[in-house]
Amino acid sequence: MKLIDGKTVAEKIHEQTHASVQMLAKRGHRPGLAVILVGDNPASRTYVRKKAEQCAKLGFHSVKLELPENTSQGELLAHVATFNQDPEIHGILVQSPLPTHINEAKIVHAISPEKDVDGFHPINVAKLALEDPSGFIPCTPLGCRCLLLEYGVPISGANVVVLGRSMIVGKSLALLLMQRGSGGDATVTVAHSRTLHLETITRAADIVITAIGSPHFLQAKHVRDGAVVIDVGINRVEDASQKNGYRLVGDVDFENVAPKCSLITPVPGGVGPMTIAMLLSNTIKACCQIHGVQVLHST
C-alpha cells in the first residue's frame, strides 16, 4: 500500500500557479479572487482564511468580504453584481453553506459564468457535460483527477465507482472521468443512498471514490485487493484527546481498507489540499480567458 500525498501534489500545483502569476504580471495582469462569507460558520471561516492566505502567498489580488448572518438575499446579490463588474476580480466564490433564508441556487446563477471558478453555474455544468474546455470544473473533482494522474493511475478503461451524487463532488466527478481523452475514458458507476448491492458494485472497481459524508463507511469488504481508493469525505468525530475535542476522518475505514489498496488518500492530507490548489488554478484560467492570454497550464 502506498499513500497518496495530497499536500505534496498541491504544492506542485501552487508552484505552477505561481509561475502563471508571474507570466501574467509580465503582461500587466494580476489574477483576482473574491470570496464572500455570510454568517459565522467556524468551518467556513477556516476555509475562507486558508484560501485568502494561499492567495496572498502566490501574489493574487484577493478580496475577502465577510457579511453578517442576517444579510438579505438582495444585499448578497448586489455584492455579487459588484464583483461581476469589477475588472480586478476574475474569480468569485460564495462560501457555502449560506443561511437558510438565502436561496443558494439564485446566488450561484447570479455569478458571471466567466468568473464562476467553483464551476457551479448551470452554464459551466453544461460545459462539463458537453466537454467544452472553456468551462470551469468544480475544484474537488478536479483535485481527485489530478491526484490519479500524478500517481500514474490508469483512468482510461478503468472501472470507477463514485459514491455520492452531489453536483459539488460525485456527479461532476463522474462526468469528468467519463470525458473523452486524457484523464477520462473511464467506465463510471455512480452509487448513492438508494443503491442496492453496493458491495458487489464496489468490489468490481479498479478505483473507488467516496464522497458521502459518513465516517468509516467504506469497509475492507467493499474493496478488492489492489484497488485505488480516493476518500473525499471530511467528517468531524469526537475525540477527547484532541485540543478542540474532535478529529477529522474520511468516509473510509482507513485502518482496515488501506492494507488492501495499491494506493489510498489519507484524511486529512489527501483530497483536501487539492481543492484550494484547483480553485487558484481555475482563477488563473479565468484571468487568462478574460484577458485573452493563452492558459499556461491546465488542470
Residues that bind ligand NAP (CB under 6 A): 140, 163-166, 168-170, 191-195, 211-214, 232-235, 271-272, 275
Answer yes or no: 179 catalytic.
no
Name the catalytic one among 95, 171, 251, 253.
Answer: 95
C-alpha to C-alpha distance for 155 and 152, rounded to whole angstroms: 9
**Where are the alpha helices (H) located in the chain, listed in sequence order?**
6-26, 42-58, 73-85, 104-110, 122-130, 139-150, 170-177, 198-203, 254-257, 272-291
Nearer to ligand NAP, 54 or 275 (CB): 275
Q: Which is nearer to ligand NAP, 247 or 291 (CB)?
A: 247
Dist. CA 174–CA 186, nearest whole Å? 9
User: Is 149 or 296 the residue whose CB approaches ligand NAP more closely?
Assistant: 149
**Residue 92: φ, ψ to 5°:** -125, 130
CA distance 60 to 262: 37
Q: Say whether 95 is catalytic.
A: yes
Helix 272-291 × helix 42-58 angle, to 10°: 50
Smallest distance, Å, CB 202 to ligand NAP? Answer: 10
| Residue 173 C-beta: closest distance to ligand NAP, Å | 9
Q: What sign does the CA torsion over 58, 60, 66, 72 have? A: negative
Rank residues 72 and 193 by Cβ distance to ligand NAP and give the closer one: 193
**Least distance (Å) from ligand NAP to the CB of residue 215?**
9
CB of 275 to ligand NAP, least distance (A): 4
Has 22 been annotated as catalytic?
Answer: no
| Comparison of 101 and 236: residue with beta carbon closer to ligand NAP | 236
Cell, residue 242: 484532541
- We find the least distance from the C-beta atom of residue 91 to ligand NAP, in angstroms, to be 17
Element (H, E) at 251: none
The DSSP code for 252 is: B
- Which residue among the candidates 54, 116, 118, 179 is catalytic per the annotation? 118
Write out the catalytic residue numbers: 51, 95, 118
